[in-house]
């Protein structure tokens, strides 16, 4: 008879466990739609792309091993969120002096060039990946995506969304300060 | 032989509907490999890969840009001589376990794989124990004298005719 009475508590217990899980999901900031990244903590993938702008050298792995951290930003002129994060990249490059390497993804070079001419060019060097072959090695799912590569050439952060002020202040800047 | 007009009409309608009924493949002819055996393997692998921008669609079904790139990379790896599992590993190295439609069996996915069988097992065990503990049903009480009489009257009566005194049984 005693175990029967305990059995009546089972639905209540189930409810408590479910409520706990839902509460945790709401409050922990977990995003079940996020596909995550396996790149973080690994050496940066191969960087090899033809230069977008005339007179600039092509992008090579040497850019990721210059002894200081760099941001690698994939963008496209047809991508609206890229437009949204563009002023932030400009500020990071011009005010904070951060090296940003840009790669125009699935973007006709002349269109990417026109886009940079119109909005300003925050990139120390910029290349293009017309067929997305190199981007696959970076585990890219779309644009914009941004990687922070540390001075040792290891990927430290991978953003699968337009950069926000919060990302810069809370995640990028602290790492850059710690690294320099 | 003359076919009824309605039949001809129905056939015509079906013919018109055919392109709609055919499944729409995302794989473009230009992506396909000339070798049918390799192409079949590529299709099989793309069905196991999850499109990374469309939540729950295979790379084989998706028209997304990235899905197209992944399909192309799968074929390139196959042509280069990779085995099926090497191609899957190649994708996992870039996109993580997310890219597999069938999650791998790991410590992290233990609950996913064993949770449902475990609940089934526990539930079954509970039902089994409850069945064991239930007291056996009591033996049926014998008929009273009055009931016996009514039954006999029923049995004696002609088939299909029920005596009026037995009707309230």
Residue A100: C-alpha distances to residues A85, A91, A123, B62, B119 (Å): 13, 11, 5, 32, 52
Residue A140 forms part of a structural domain = yes
Q: What is the pLDDT of residue B22?
A: 46
- CA–CA separation, B80 and A46 (whole Å): 19
Total number of domains constituting chain B:
1
| Contact at CB, A141 and B52, closer than 8 angstroms | yes
Q: What is the pLDDT of residues B16-43, one digit of tens each?
A: 665 554 445 678 888 888 899 999 999 9
Distance of CA B138 to the CA centre of its chain: 44
Residues A74 and A54: their CA atoms lie apart, in Å, by: 19
Shortest Cα distance from B69 to chain A (angstroms)? 7
The whole-number pLDDT of residue A60 equals 95
Residue A31 has pLDDT above 90, yes or no: no
Which residue segment(s) compose the domain that B59 sits in?
34-102
Output the six-digit token pair for A118: 């119109």
Range of the domain at A89: 61-179
Q: Phi first, then psi: what are they for A11, rounded to 5°?
A: -60, -40
CA distance A141 to chain B (A): 6
Q: Is position B64 within any domain? A: yes
Four-point Cα dihedral B104, B110, B113, B119, nearest 10: 180
Q: Closest Cα of chain A to B134: distance in Å?
A: 13
Over residues A49-59, the pLDDT tens digits come to: 999 999 999 99
Nearest chain B residue to A45 by CA distance is B94
- Is A43 an interface residue toward B (CB < 8 Å)? no
Facing residue for B53 by CB, picked from A106, A132, A142: A142
Output B5-9 pairs: Cβ under 8 A, ≥24 positions apart.
none
Query: Is residue A13 situated within a structural domain?
Result: no
Edge-first strand order for the sheet with A100-105 is: A125-129, A100-105, A70-75, A145-149, A155-159
Tokens in use for B104?
């791998």
Reported as type and span, the H/E element at residue A127 is strand A125-129
Is A153:A65 a contact under the CB 8 Å cutoff? yes
Angle at A89 (CA atoms; ends A86, A91), nearest 5 degrees: 110
Residue in A136, A143, A158, A160 to test binding to B, most B beta-carbons within 10 Å: A136
Domain membership flag for residue B89: yes
Q: What is the CATH number of the domain that holds A140?
A: 3.40.30.10
Indicate the pLDDT class of residue A151, thresholds 50, 70 and 90. Answer: very high
Per-residue model confidence (pLDDT) at position B115: 93
Q: Identify whether B69 is part of a domain.
A: yes
Count the domains in chain A: 1
Q: Give me the residue label for tokens 């993580």.
A: B96
- Cβ contact B96–A138 (<8 Å): no
For the cut 70, the answer to whether the pLDDT of residue B133 exceeds it is yes
CATH number at residue B46: 1.10.8.640
Residue A167 placed within a domain = yes
pLDDT in tens, A58-89: 999 999 998 899 999 999 999 999 999 999 99
pLDDT cut 70: percent of chain B above it: 82
pLDDT at B143: 87
Check pLDDT > 60 for residue A156.
Answer: yes
**Considering the entire predicted model, what is its pTM?**
0.76
Residue with tokens 């074929």: B75
Q: Is residue B4 part of a domain?
A: no
Please name which of A19, A29, A30, A61 lies closest in space to residue A44, comparing C-alpha atoms.
A61
């Amino acid at each position: 008879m005693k175990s029967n009475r305990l059995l009546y508590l089972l639905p209540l217990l189930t409810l408590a466990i479910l409520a706990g899980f839902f509460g945790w999901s709401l409050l922990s900031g977990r995003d079940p739609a996020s596909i995550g990244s396996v790149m973080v903590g690994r050496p940066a993938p191969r960087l090899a792309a033809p230069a977008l702008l005339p007179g600039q050298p092509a992008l090579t792995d040497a850019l990721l091993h210059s002894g200081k951290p760099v941001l690698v930003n994939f963008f496209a002129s047809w991508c609206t969120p890229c437009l949204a994060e563009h002023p932030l990249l400009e500020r990071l490059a011009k005010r904070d002096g951060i090296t940003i390497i840009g790669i125009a993804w699935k973007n006709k070079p002349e269109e990417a060039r026109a886009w940079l001419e119109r909005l300003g060019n925050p990139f120390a060097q910029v290349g293009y990946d017309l067929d997305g072959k190199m981007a696959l090695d970076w585990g890219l799912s779309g644009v914009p995506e941004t990687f922070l590569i540390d001075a040792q050439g290891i990927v430290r952060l991978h953003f699968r969304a337009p950069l926000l002020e919060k990302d810069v202040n809370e995640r990028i800047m602290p790492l850059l300060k710690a690294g320099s | 032989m003359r076919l009824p007009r309605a039949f001809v009409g129905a056939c015509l309608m079906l013919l018109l509907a055919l392109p709609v009924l055919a499944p729409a493949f995302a794989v473009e002819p230009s992506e396909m490999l000339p070798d049918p055996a390799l192409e079949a393997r590529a299709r099989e692998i793309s069905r196991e890969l999850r499109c990374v921008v469309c939540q729950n669609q295979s790379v084989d079904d998706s028209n997304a840009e990235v899905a197209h790139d992944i399909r192309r990379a799968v074929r390139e790896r196959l042509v280069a001589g990779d085995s099926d599992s090497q191609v899957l590993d190649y994708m996992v190295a870039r996109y993580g376990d997310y890219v597999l439609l069938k999650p791998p069996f790991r410590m992290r996915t233990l609950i996913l794989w064993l949770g449902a069988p475990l609940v089934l097992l526990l539930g079954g065990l509970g039902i089994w124990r409850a069945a064991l503990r239930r007291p056996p049903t009591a033996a049926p009480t014998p008929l009273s004298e009055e009931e016996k009489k009514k039954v006999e009257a029923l049995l004696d009566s002609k088939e299909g005719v029920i005596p009026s005194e037995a009707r309230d049984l």
